[in-house]
């Protein structure tokens, strides 16, 4: 007589969990890389957003009634100095737009520049410093990686069309800004002396504002 009793064997979950557990190295890479990328992107986003929040109205920048011919070179220089302090963020946006359009018009240069930027980000900036770079079965130290990236940057900038595109775009952008700053009469522009705009052309990047310090100093009670 055949017994119908079936022996149920216990199933262990150790093997299943062992197959799904990642090695320590993979886990460290997965946990360390995305936060670094997110922190970098968040920092750039906050910097750009903070800079754009200080831009002047574009209608004020393009007011045709305010354009007049300067009487002398000294007056043109004075106008440019005042306009660059007032419209500094708008001028940076104009140069960036001209640079972007120039790169879009040259797809090969754009691809080379993106590959170069990605190499710097993922091979040097976001790579753990205690882990050497391994390519083609060879280990590269920190200094070798940095030297290779610097040489690659020099080769891409000076031996391809990337350098000429960047230089020509920057020259066009700077010339546009200079012409606008010289012919735009700044008589109707009111810039506070404590405004951070008067500090520099790119002062919105990591420069504390002095306008917040002035109220606290002025509101201090007089000495008895």
Residue 49: predicted pLDDT: 77
Task: Give the length of the chain.
Answer: 224
| pLDDT, tens digit, 9 for 90 and up, residues 165-210 | 999 999 999 999 999 999 998 876 665 544 544 444 444 444 443 3
Q: Does the pLDDT of residue 100 top 60, yes or no?
A: yes
114 CB-near residues (< 8 Å, 6+ apart):
none
Residue 31: predicted pLDDT: 43
| pLDDT, tens digit, 9 for 90 and up, residues 113-170 | 999 999 988 888 877 777 777 877 778 888 888 899 999 999 999 998 999 999 999 9
Token couple for 147 = 């030297």
Residue 188: predicted pLDDT: 65
Report the 3 state secondary structure along the chain.
CCCCCCCCCCCCCHHHHHHHCCCHHHHHHHHHHHHHHHHHHHHHHHHHHHHHCCCCCHHHHCCHHHECCCCCHHHHHHHHHHHHHHCHHHHHHHHHHHHHHHHHHCHHHHHHHHHHHHHHHHHHHCCCCCCCEEECCEEECHHHHHHHHHHHHHHHHHCCHHHHHHHHHHHHHHHHHHHHHHHECHHHCCCCCCCHHHCCCCCCCCCCCCCCHHHHHHCCCCCC
Q: In the predicted model, what is the mean pLDDT of residues 83-103?
A: 93
85 CB-contact burial (10 Å; exposed 0-12 / middle 13-18 / buried 19+): buried
Q: In the predicted model, what is the mean pLDDT of residues 88-96?
A: 93
């Amino acid at each position: 007589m055949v017994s119908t009793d079936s022996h149920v064997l216990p199933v262990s979950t150790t093997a299943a969990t062992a197959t799904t557990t990642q090695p320590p190295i993979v886990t460290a890479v997965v946990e360390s890389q995305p936060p670094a990328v997110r922190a970098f992107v968040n920092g750039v986003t906050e910097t750009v957003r903070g800079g754009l929040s200080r831009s002047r109205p574009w209608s004020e920048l393009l007011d045709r009634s305010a354009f007049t011919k300067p009487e002398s070179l000294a007056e043109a220089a004075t106008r440019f100095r005042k306009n660059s302090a007032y419209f500094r963020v708008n001028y940076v946006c104009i140069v960036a737009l001209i640079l972007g359009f120039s790169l879009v018009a040259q797809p090969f240069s754009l691809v080379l520049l993106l590959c170069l930027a990605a190499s710097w980000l993922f091979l040097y900036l976001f790579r753990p410093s205690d882990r050497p770079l391994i390519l083609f079965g060879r280990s590269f130290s920190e200094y070798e990686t940095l030297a290779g990236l610097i040489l690659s940057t020099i080769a891409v900038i000076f031996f391809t069309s990337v350098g000429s595109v960047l230089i020509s775009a920057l020259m066009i952008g700077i010339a546009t800004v200079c012409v606008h700053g010289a012919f735009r009469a700044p008589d109707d522009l009111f810039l506070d002396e404590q405004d951070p705009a008067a500090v520099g052309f790119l002062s919105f990047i990591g420069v504390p504002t002095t306008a917040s310090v002035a109220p606290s100093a002025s509101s201090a009670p007089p000495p008895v």
